[in-house]
Amino acid sequence: MAEIAPEAEAYIRTDGQGISSLNLAVENLHCGGCVRRIEDTLAKKDAVTSARVNLTTRRLALHWQADQARAGDLLAAVSALGYRLVPFDPDLLANEAASEDRALLRAMAVAGFAAANVMLLSVAIWAGEASGDMGLALRDLLHWISALVALPAVAYAGRPFFRSALAALRQGMMNMDLPISLAVLLAAATSLFETINHGQHAYFDASVGLLFFLLIGRYLDRRARSRARSAAEQLLLLGAVAAQVVEASGMVRALPIGAVRAGMTVRVAPGDRVPVDGVVSFGQGEVDASLISGESEPCEIKVGDWLHAGTMNLSHPLQIEVASAGDDTLLAEIVRLTAAAEQGKAAYVRLADRAARIYAPAVHLLALGGFLGWWLLGGLAWQPALLIAVAVLIITCPCALGLAVPVVQVVASGLAMRRGVLVKAGDGFERLAEVDTLVFDKTGTLTHGRPELVNGDTIPAPVLAQAAGLAAGSRHPLCQALVRAAGPVPAQLQVQEHPGMGLQLDDMRLGNRDWCAVDEASPDDGNSELWFRQPDQAPVRFAFRDQLKADAVAVIGELQEAGWRIEIVSGDRAVVVEPLARQLKISNWRADCRPDQKVAYLRDLAATGCKVAMIGDGLNDAPALAAAHASLSPVRAADVAQAAADFVFQGETLAPVAMTLALARRVRRLILQNFSLALAYNLLAVPLALAGVVTPLFAAIAMSSSSLLVTLNALRLRGGRAS
């Protein structure tokens, strides 16, 4: 791991009183114990004035006396505990969304306050009407007090709906917020009119109650989304490292990536990702380009070779002359491709909005018809006729519809989260439920994404142990695979590592075929190899291959049996992909696909009428993930891939994919059920409203019971079968 100090310097702010502040994203933060450890460690330092870890957002806000300590010393203590800290600029994160969340919560609080108090007064009015001994003056007084509470509350808490309805109207469209706004405003206005004219019925309770229920739905919806958003932000944060720029004097200075220019020289420590596109100017070794190309094997690089941003340096420090940085790198290009593909997905219309497109005009026509019918044909004066129209609007108002989707969404997200799947897109379940074709990436998705020893059975145990002893000190993926296969062995400390060649201890050599002077031809079976030569013995070949995840065959088989069409699209070579596809009994596979080819292939599939879900982990998959109808990504995936995917699943298995697919179908069924419930309720209530028999009491009961019904129906998701 690179030291944190030089990176952090670029993000420190110092105020007038000499207090420095720094915001950091904390990796590996799991529980309150972690919070405690980090805060205690920092609090023991005299210079620290405050250190606060936020467990929800996994961020640390640190303040200290600038003249008493250096950031590096403070952070080193936390790094030593095993937490990786990544500094970030809080201004870069969108705070707009957070303040919108709060505005919604405030509106909900105000609506809740008003609803409770107006309902209190309404109960008094209903009781008075029922007993028949309430004086007119008292009823007017109670109406006036209700108005006093309800009108300001409507004006304040209704704003989210009014704004959205206005915005839709300006674009010449109708959304769900239009009937809501109209119902609330008309109910409040006619109630005020009735109150002034000593009328019998006032719907203040209905109008604020409506707002309260709908705001709950809106807030739940919003919260599910912002949780997903903060997860995505976290990922992007962790990706944003500073570059170590080597200056002419030989000094190394940390610069934010945005400040790196072409022509500068950047140092990349082993284990770090290359932050820029450029040419290697010093050093040699091996890099892991799997994020970019999907190729599972490490490749060797030397001075003069071209490296792309996002490539992981595996073995030795490298210096790279920057050819392009920031917006011009391949990484940025992939991010752009991804963003472009996401725009296409924004065209998807959520079920609730589709329902609204039919619902809103129908409701308005009904209300208008009721008004005109009673006024012109029914012989009523215009005031009572208008009151009937308002009753229609209130009773049809999509209280249940407003809750139908968010509640199911929230319950399902919670369920998925407990099973290790993070739901990132609010409409992810809806889209996933429509999918009929699954396209898998290979490396890191179907496979572990790291090489494993395949011919361990044919090698004598002592030889394996001896070779593993040599390999134990190396960070090379093949060496680490060898050590994993051999089990715990004592590391040989005198081993010399020769970059790009192999390891040496006395007369024993472990490395590539030239290093071990092997003449024998090895089969081109797509495996990577290490050779081990002991003095006076024939060289031994260790073959490695990226292995399938443990349950891959079972899960793919199950999915195929359940009727999904399954394909593999990989950036790796055909010789690697083909046997794997055969093993999984997948007949449609493609190899050597570049990111744009993957996207093009998905487009072709979509053009034939398939709804495709993409499951992939690499940077090279990110555009395809965004372009697919729905997408899943394992938690070990590249940041950009996780940011692009609708779902992120944990674990080294594929079972969560099958689980998520099944859950998505249940979610869709429940949402449709809830819509049917709401529809049935409307079919029952609308005729009554049109007939003019809906009193404020009836409206209040109907509204609450329909909301309760859809909420309870959504909660059934928690019970039910696990699969």
Please tell me the count of residues contacting another protein according to CB under 8 A: 25
Gap between the Cα atoms of 631 and 432, Å rounded: 8
8 A C-beta contact, residue 443 and residue 290: yes
Distance of CA 373 to the CA centre of its chain: 51
Q: Considering beta carbons, is residue 126 or 564 the nearer one to another protein?
A: 126
Q: Considering beta carbons, is residue 29 or 331 the nearer one to another protein?
A: 29
Q: Considering beta carbons, is residue 35 or 568 the nearer one to another protein?
A: 35
Q: Does 57 bind another protein (CB under 8 A)?
A: yes
Residues 66-105, interacting with another protein (CB under 8 A): 102, 105
Q: Does 715 bind another protein (CB under 8 A)?
A: no
Parallel, antiparallel, or unpaired: how do β-strands 277-282 and 508-511 relate? unpaired
Q: Does 149 bind another protein (CB under 8 A)?
A: yes
Q: Considering beta carbons, is residue 34 or 615 the nearer one to another protein?
A: 34
Structure tokens of 597? Answer: 């080819």
Using CB under 8 A, pick the residue from 16, 32, 250, 490 that binds another protein: 32
Q: Considering beta carbons, is residue 53 or 397 the nearer one to another protein?
A: 53
HSE-CB at 106 with a 13 A cutoff on CA atoms is 10
Q: What's the CA angle centered on 164, arms 232 and 152, to 5 degrees? A: 115
Using CB under 8 A, pick the residue from 15, 40, 73, 525 that binds another protein: 40
Work out how close the CB of 101 gets to another protein at its nearest, in angstroms, rounded to a whole number. 9
CA dihedral 696, 698, 703, 709 (to 10 degrees): 170
Work out how close the CB of 55 gets to another protein at its nearest, in angstroms, rounded to a whole number. 3
Q: In sequence order, which residues have a C-beta less than 8 Å from that of residue 64 and are 6 or more positions away?
A: 19, 20, 45, 47, 48, 49, 71, 74
Gap between the Cα atoms of 212 and 399, Å rounded: 10
- Helix (H, G, I), strand (E, B), or coil: what is residue 531? strand
Of 326, 328, 301, 324, nearest to 312 by C-alpha is 301
Gap between the Cα atoms of 252 and 240, Å rounded: 19
Q: Considering beta carbons, is residue 128 or 373 the nearer one to another protein?
A: 128
Q: Considering beta carbons, is residue 37 or 350 the nearer one to another protein?
A: 37
Work out how close the CB of 154 gets to another protein at its nearest, in angstroms, rounded to a whole number. 15
Work out how close the CB of 585 gets to another protein at its nearest, in angstroms, rounded to a whole number. 43
Gap between the Cα atoms of 507 and 510, Å rounded: 10
DSSP 443: I
Q: Active-site residue among 288, 441, 546, 621? A: 441
Q: Is 639 a catalytic residue?
A: no
Q: Which amino acid does the sequence have at 556?
A: I
Distances (CA, A) of 682 to 128, 218, 223, 392, 590: 29, 21, 28, 10, 51
Using CB under 8 A, pick the residue from 31, 251, 683, 722 that binds another protein: 31
Using CB under 8 A, pick the residue from 25, 35, 240, 360 that binds another protein: 35
Gap between the Cα atoms of 212 and 508, Å rounded: 76
Work out how close the CB of 440 gets to another protein at its nearest, in angstroms, rounded to a whole number. 33
Work out how close the CB of 38 gets to another protein at its nearest, in angstroms, rounded to a whole number. 11
Q: Considering beta carbons, is residue 155 or 550 the nearer one to another protein?
A: 155
DSSP 273: B
Q: Does 722 bind another protein (CB under 8 A)?
A: no
Distance of CA 674 to the CA centre of its chain: 26
Q: Considering beta carbons, is residue 54 or 705 the nearer one to another protein?
A: 54
Q: Does 54 bind another protein (CB under 8 A)?
A: yes
Gap between the Cα atoms of 580 and 570, Å rounded: 11
Structure tokens of 71? Answer: 């950031």
Q: Considering beta carbons, is residue 34 or 386 the nearer one to another protein?
A: 34
Work out how close the CB of 411 gets to another protein at its nearest, in angstroms, rounded to a whole number. 18
Work out how close the CB of 95 gets to another protein at its nearest, in angstroms, rounded to a whole number. 12
Q: Considering beta carbons, is residue 42 or 121 the nearer one to another protein?
A: 121
Residue keyed to tokens 């020769």: 498
Work out how close the CB of 221 gets to another protein at its nearest, in angstroms, rounded to a whole number. 17
Gap between the Cα atoms of 358 and 348, Å rounded: 17
Q: Does 413 bind another protein (CB under 8 A)?
A: no
Residues 285-304, interacting with another protein (CB under 8 A): none
Distances (CA, A) of 620 to 429, 533, 644: 24, 38, 11
Residues 542-601, interacting with another protein (CB under 8 A): none
Work out how close the CB of 149 gets to another protein at its nearest, in angstroms, rounded to a whole number. 7
- Helix (H, G, I), strand (E, B), or coil: what is residue 348? coil
- Determine the interface stretch with another protein among 35-43, 229-237, 434-442, 616-624 (rule: CB under 8 A): 35-43
8 A C-beta contact, residue 635 and residue 654: no
Residue keyed to tokens 């996401």: 342
- Determine the interface stretch with another protein among 30-38, 163-171, 393-401, 492-500 (rule: CB under 8 A): 30-38
Work out how close the CB of 50 gets to another protein at its nearest, in angstroms, rounded to a whole number. 13
Distances (CA, A) of 392 to 150, 240, 291, 478, 709: 20, 54, 57, 71, 20
Q: Does 145 bind another protein (CB under 8 A)?
A: yes
Q: 417 phi and psi, to 5 degrees?
A: -65, -40
- Determine the interface stretch with another protein among 48-56, 157-165, 260-268, 537-545 (rule: CB under 8 A): 48-56
Gap between the Cα atoms of 57 and 26, Å rounded: 9
Residues 101-140, interacting with another protein (CB under 8 A): 102, 105-106, 109-110, 113, 116-117, 120-121, 138
Gap between the Cα atoms of 294 and 73, Å rounded: 38
Q: How many CB atoms lie within 10 A of CB 359?
A: 23
Question: Footprint of another protein on this chain (CB under 8 A)?
Answer: 31-33, 35-36, 40, 53-57, 102, 105-106, 109-110, 113, 116-117, 120-121, 138, 141, 145, 149
Q: Which residues are catalytic?
A: 441
